[in-house]
Amino acid sequence: MASKSRRPPVYAAPLRGDLSGLPPATIMVSEYDPLRSEGEAYARKLQENGVPTTLVVLEGMIHACIHMLGITPAAKSLFVHAGKELRAKFQLVT
């Protein structure tokens, strides 16, 4: 008989696990994304576990805006933020 209390592995549900010891993270969520609250919760959980975390809300954007680069200029903000964070983390000068 299968157990009803069977839970997914921690890597499949990171909000249930211990996130301490993870490297610094940048979490990017779109303002109008149905998954925004999950991304924000993940950022909070990382911070609560002592992980340096930056949360970026992409104003006016929807889920999967990464695929809209050629459609709307606002999608470029995702790449601008990501590039900025990567340059800072790796101490790269442009």
pLDDT digits (tens, 9 = 90+) for 6-52: 777 777 888 888 999 999 999 999 999 999 999 999 999 999 999 99
Q: Which residues of 67-76 are buried (b: 16+ CB within 10 A; e: fewer)?
A: eeeeeeeebe
73 φ, ψ to 5°? -60, -25
For the entire predicted model, the pTM comes to 0.81
> How many CB atoms are closer than 10 A to CB 94?
5
Check: CB of residue 55 under 8 Å from CB of residue 43.
yes
Give the C-alpha separation, 93 to 72, whole Å.
28
The size of the chain, in residues, is: 94
